[in-house]
Amino acid sequence: MAKHIFITGGVVSSLGKGLTAASIALLLKQRGYRIRMQKLDPYLNVDPGTMSPYQHGEVYVTEDGAETDLDLGHYERFTGIYCNQGSNYTTGRIYSAVIAREREGGYLGKTVQVIPHITDEIKAAIRSLATDDVDIVITEIGGTAGDIESLPFLEAIRQFRQEIGRQNGLFIHMTLVPYIQAAGEMKTKPSQQSVGILRTIGIVPDMLICRCERHMEEEHRQKLALFCNVEDQYVIEEKDVDHSIYEVPGELARQHVDQHILKMLQLPENELDLDEWTHMVQTLIAPRREVEIAVIGKYISLQDSYKSIYEALTHAGVANDAAVNFRMIEAGDLTPDNTSKLLDGVAGVLVPGGFGFRGIDGKIRAIQHARQNRIPFFGICLGMQCAVMEFARNVCGLEGANSTEFDAETAHPVIDLMEEQQTITDMGGTMRLGVYPCQLTPDTRTFAAYATETVQERHRHRYEFNNAYREQLEQAGMKISGRFVAGDLVEIVELSDHPWFVACQFHPEFKSTPLQAHPLFRDFVAAAIGGRQESSPAPDATTSQTTSAAQACPAS
């Protein structure tokens, strides 16, 4: 039978519960345990797929096409273990299932209630991960103790632990121990109160993990232990790390968190093998060189919106023994006059995925600049679509070439809606989602990066490269370096007469880990380190961009 660890949070949000859960998972995995991870989110959206990146950060996509919370990205990056549809449940998803069953007559005339029907559904969601091939399930509860929305989830985990017994289930509570400047002291009271809230609903944490800016004194630890009813040794400090989130597992291991957990769960300790991880962290902390990459996005002010992109670039840095610095540029800020200035000196340009028209002109300008000035370029999803639009307009002379997402009437729809998408009106879970096989073309930069013929990559989009323009673009020098053969879809394009210009329709950033940088990110950063090639700009069919997409498209 699988054992369970439940991680709750108190005092404030953004304590890094996801990172802590992921770090614990890594430590237990490196002691030989088979781990599964899950996040329960107490909001009413059925999944984060329909939420704005401003509200919720990036939407993380799993192999099996679930649109999930970005914490699942941490889970996968730290552990290398894939999440799935069972790894993220929201209140909306739980209620939808219960209401659908009620409509089907599944409750046989009973009054359907939060307790027991919603809590039973939550318990079933937790149990769904505890399959025979799993030793420990780690379940993170989103939100903060005391939130009204969290109550059904907390009641469900209380019942769950009651049913499986103490030695099979653990409660870990993350809290904040702030340093109050004016008093010159660290304060334990908020943590005591948050544990108090849990106690009123019948949960007594077995372990406290305390986020703090300064080291806690023994006196604080004892106070917390006494007032929160937790054993001294199980009050753990998680002080802000100096350099990187990837230092957290080492910090927790130093305080024997993994050993404490195994002891409480009555599982053998086994040996911890953290060598490879520690080595990676050392490279990350003291790299031999630096490189600056421009990321041209639309939600640039919010780092979480491009979480996996920044992480994947960091991993690529580790693979190249380099620190990757980001120049985050709001696409809408790029004008014909300032593009060279804003991109001056960057070693690489990356245009990530996105939706809606705002910022498209700026992205296309950045791509044109990278292409003409032979700066390594990496386009992802919308970034790939923009690269195709740029090439069609400025190299093939297809004036006003566009995606039908932005101009339904364009004379040259080089990016168009897939046929099966044309009749869909529902927003949730209706895109092309999850992994598809992609066959690579030999003798391309893409093939050189992956060094294999077929790869599996994750998608999240509605629009596609329009095959009607394929021949024309190929003749002008755009190489198709990856295809989904069964659907006859172009997945990767590149330019051979450029130091490194690759753009893909899928999201490679979701499959990059610090121990194994994604091959495309790795080679992109390597090309950027190689420096800009000092040769003349690539010639264009048209010298200036005549039609502004803004004139033709509805604003978003």
Nearer to ligand GLN, 59 or 478 (CB): 59
* Minimum distance from residue 243 beta carbon to ligand GLN (Å): 30
- What number of other Cβ atoms are within 10 A of residue 58's Cβ? 26
Q: Are 210 and 177 in contact (CB under 8 A)?
A: yes
Q: Sheet of 207-212: strands edge to edge?
A: 88-90, 35-41, 136-141, 3-9, 169-176, 207-212, 235-239
By C-alpha distance, which of 203, 296, 285 is closest to 242? 285
Active-site choice (173, 260, 507, 518): 507
- Burial track 223-252 (b if 16+ CB lie within 10 A, e otherwise): bbbeebebeeebbbbbeeeeeebbbbbbeb
Nearer to ligand GLN, 152 or 354 (CB): 354
Ramachandran area for residue 533 (φ above 0: left; ψ -120 to 50: alpha; else beta): beta
Q: Among this protein's residues, is 381 annotated catalytic?
A: yes
Helix (H) or strand (E) holding 238: strand 235-239
Nearer to ligand GLN, 122 or 351 (CB): 351
The residues that touch ligand GLN, with contacts defined as CB under 6 A, are 353-355, 381-382, 405, 460-463
Residue 13: C-alpha distances to residues 18, 73, 189 (Å)? 11, 18, 17
Nearer to ligand GLN, 270 or 404 (CB): 404
Q: How far apart are CA 74 and CA 69, in angstroms?
A: 10
Active-site choice (83, 210, 381, 504): 381
Residue 46: C-alpha distances to residues 13, 33, 94, 154, 216 (Å)? 21, 31, 8, 19, 40
Q: Are 262 and 31 in contact (CB under 8 A)?
A: yes
DSSP secondary structure of 163-201: HH-GGGEEEEEEEE--EETTTTEE--HHHHHHHHHHHHT
Q: Among this protein's residues, is 534 annotated catalytic?
A: no
Nearer to ligand GLN, 460 or 483 (CB): 460
Nearer to ligand GLN, 382 or 455 (CB): 382
Q: Are 153 and 188 in contact (CB under 8 A)?
A: no
* Minimum distance from residue 353 beta carbon to ligand GLN (Å): 3
Handedness of CA 421, 425, 430, 431 (dihedral sign): positive
* Minimum distance from residue 291 beta carbon to ligand GLN (Å): 24
Nearer to ligand GLN, 187 or 462 (CB): 462
* Minimum distance from residue 491 beta carbon to ligand GLN (Å): 12
Identify any residues that bridge with 478 across adjacent strands, giving them in sequence order.
495
Residue 36: C-alpha distances to residues 2, 22, 86, 132, 352 (Å)? 10, 10, 10, 11, 29
Q: Are 142 and 69 in contact (CB under 8 A)?
A: yes
**Strand ranges in 26-87 using DSSP code E only, listed in sequence order:** 35-41, 60-61, 67-68
Q: How far apart are CA 120 and CA 136, in angstroms?
A: 20
CB-nearest residue to ligand GLN: 353
Q: Are 355 and 336 in contact (CB under 8 A)?
A: no
* Minimum distance from residue 471 beta carbon to ligand GLN (Å): 22
Q: Among this protein's residues, is 509 annotated catalytic?
A: yes
* Minimum distance from residue 147 beta carbon to ligand GLN (Å): 31
Q: How far apart are CA 68 and CA 73, in angstroms?
A: 9
- The first and second tokens of residue 365, run together, are 């300008």
Nearer to ligand GLN, 372 or 421 (CB): 421
Active-site choice (67, 237, 494, 509): 509
* Minimum distance from residue 331 beta carbon to ligand GLN (Å): 13
Handedness of CA 213, 30, 5, 161 (dihedral sign): negative
* Minimum distance from residue 417 beta carbon to ligand GLN (Å): 8
Nearer to ligand GLN, 40 or 381 (CB): 381
* Minimum distance from residue 382 beta carbon to ligand GLN (Å): 3
- The first and second tokens of residue 32, run together, are 């030989």
Q: How far apart are CA 18 and CA 26, in angstroms?
A: 12
* Minimum distance from residue 418 beta carbon to ligand GLN (Å): 9
CA 150 to mean position of chain CA atoms:
23
| Residues known to be catalytic | 381, 507, 509
